[in-house]
Chains A and B, each alone.
Chain A
Amino acid sequence: MRMTIGQRIGALVAVIMTMVIVSSVLSYRSIDDVMAAMQLRKLSSEIELQLNEVITDLLNAETGQRGFIITAEDAYLEPYTKSVAAIGKLLDGLRAATVSDAVLQRKFVRLEQLVQTKVADMATSISIRREKGFEAAQSAILTHHGLKSMDDVRKALDEMEIHQHKVHDERIRQAAASVDRAKLTMLVMALLSLLVSALASWVVTRSITKPLTQLAIGTEKLGSGDLDHRIEGLGDDETGNLAKAFNAMAARLNGMLVSASAQAAQRDKVLAAVTETALQLATSSQELLAGATQQATGMQEQAAAIVETATVVDEVAHTATQALERAKFVATAARRSEEVGMAGKQAVDETVQAILLANGQAGSVAGNIASLAAQTQAIGEIVALITDIADQTNLLALNAAIEASRAGEHGRGFSVVATEVKSLAEESKQATRRVRQILGDIQKMANTAVLSTEEGARGMATATKQADNAGQKIQQLGSVIAEVADAASQIAASAGQQANGLTQIHQAIRDIRQVSTQNLAATHQAQRAATDLATLGTNLTALLAASRVTDG
Chain B
Amino acid sequence: MMDADRQILDDRARQLARPLAVALDAARTDVLFMSLGDERLAIELRYVRQIVALPEITAVPDLPPAFLGVVNLAGAILPVVDLGVLLTERRSGIGAKRMVIVGEHRPELGLAVDDVEQIVSEDKWQPVGDAPLVRGVLNGERLLIDGDWLLRDPRLFSKIQTV
Q: Which residues of A contact B (CB under 8 A)?
A: 395, 398-399, 401-402, 405-406, 422
With A and B bound together, what is the CA distance between A399 and B53 in angstroms? 12
Q: Is B58 an interface residue (CB 8 A)?
A: no
* A314 CB to nearest B CB, Å: 111
Q: Is B21 an interface residue (CB 8 A)?
A: no
With A and B bound together, what is the CA distance between A422 and B32 in angstroms? 14
Contacting A at CB under 8 A, from B21-56, are: 30, 32, 45-46, 48-53
Starting from the known contacts A399-B50, A402-B32, A402-B48, 13 additional A-B residue pairs (CB-CB under 8 Å) come to A395-B52, A395-B116, A398-B32, A398-B51, A398-B116, A398-B119, A401-B119, A402-B49, A402-B50, A402-B51, A405-B45, A405-B46, A406-B46
26 A-B interface contacts by CB (under 8 A): A395-B51, A395-B52, A395-B53, A395-B98, A395-B116, A398-B32, A398-B51, A398-B116, A398-B119, A399-B50, A399-B51, A401-B119, A402-B32, A402-B45, A402-B48, A402-B49, A402-B50, A402-B51, A402-B119, A405-B30, A405-B45, A405-B46, A405-B119, A406-B45, A406-B46, A422-B118
Contacts of A402 in B (CB 8 A): 32, 45, 48-51, 119
Contacts of B51 in A (CB 8 A): 395, 398-399, 402
With A and B bound together, what is the CA distance between A399 and B119 in angstroms? 10
Contacts of B53 in A (CB 8 A): 395
With A and B bound together, what is the CA distance between A422 and B98 in angstroms? 16
In order of increasing CB-CB distance, the 3 nearest A-B pairs are: A401-B119, A405-B45, A405-B30
With A and B bound together, what is the CA distance between A406 and B30 in angstroms? 10
Q: How many residues does chain B have at the interface if contact means C-beta atoms less than 8 Å apart?
A: 14
* B66 CB to nearest A CB, Å: 24
Q: Which residues of B contact A (CB under 8 A)?
A: 30, 32, 45-46, 48-53, 98, 116, 118-119
* A355 CB to nearest B CB, Å: 58
With A and B bound together, what is the CA distance between A398 and B32 in angstroms? 9
With A and B bound together, what is the CA distance between A518 and B133 in angstroms? 145
* B49 CB to nearest A CB, Å: 8
With A and B bound together, what is the CA distance between A406 and B47 in angstroms? 10
* A382 CB to nearest B CB, Å: 21
Main DSSP-derived SS at the A contact region:
helix
User: Most chain-B Cβ atoms within 10 A of its Cβ — which of A405, A406, A422?
Assistant: A405
Cβ-closest chain A residue relative to B117: A398
* A175 CB to nearest B CB, Å: 149
Cβ-closest chain B residue relative to A401: B119
With A and B bound together, what is the CA distance between A399 and B50 in angstroms? 6
Cβ-closest chain A residue relative to B44: A405
* A491 CB to nearest B CB, Å: 95
Contacts of A401 in B (CB 8 A): 119
Cβ-closest chain A residue relative to B30: A405
Cβ-closest chain B residue relative to A415: B119
With A and B bound together, what is the CA distance between A405 and B30 in angstroms? 8
With A and B bound together, what is the CA distance between A395 and B50 in angstroms? 9
* A417 CB to nearest B CB, Å: 13
* A388 CB to nearest B CB, Å: 10
With A and B bound together, what is the CA distance between A398 and B50 in angstroms? 9
Contacts of A395 in B (CB 8 A): 51-53, 98, 116
Contacts of B30 in A (CB 8 A): 405
Contacts of B50 in A (CB 8 A): 399, 402
* A17 CB to nearest B CB, Å: 142
With A and B bound together, what is the CA distance between A402 and B46 in angstroms? 8
Cβ-closest chain A residue relative to B98: A395
With A and B bound together, what is the CA distance between A405 and B44 in angstroms? 11
Contacts of A406 in B (CB 8 A): 45-46
Contacts of B48 in A (CB 8 A): 402
With A and B bound together, what is the CA distance between A406 and B44 in angstroms? 11
Cβ-closest chain B residue relative to A395: B51
Cβ-closest chain A residue relative to B116: A398
* A529 CB to nearest B CB, Å: 127
User: Most chain-B Cβ atoms within 10 A of its Cβ — which of A398, A399, A401, A422?
Assistant: A398
* B117 CB to nearest A CB, Å: 9
Cβ-closest chain A residue relative to B121: A405
Contacts of B32 in A (CB 8 A): 398, 402
With A and B bound together, what is the CA distance between A395 and B100 in angstroms? 11
With A and B bound together, what is the CA distance between A53 and B46 in angstroms? 197
With A and B bound together, what is the CA distance between A232 and B116 in angstroms? 139
* B43 CB to nearest A CB, Å: 11
* A191 CB to nearest B CB, Å: 134
Contacts of B45 in A (CB 8 A): 402, 405-406
* B35 CB to nearest A CB, Å: 14
With A and B bound together, what is the CA distance between A395 and B45 in angstroms? 15
Contacts of B119 in A (CB 8 A): 398, 401-402, 405
Contacts of B116 in A (CB 8 A): 395, 398
* B148 CB to nearest A CB, Å: 17
With A and B bound together, what is the CA distance between A13 and B41 in angstroms? 154
Cβ-closest chain B residue relative to A426: B118
Cβ-closest chain B residue relative to A402: B48
With A and B bound together, what is the CA distance between A398 and B49 in angstroms? 11
* B100 CB to nearest A CB, Å: 10
With A and B bound together, what is the CA distance between A401 and B120 in angstroms? 10
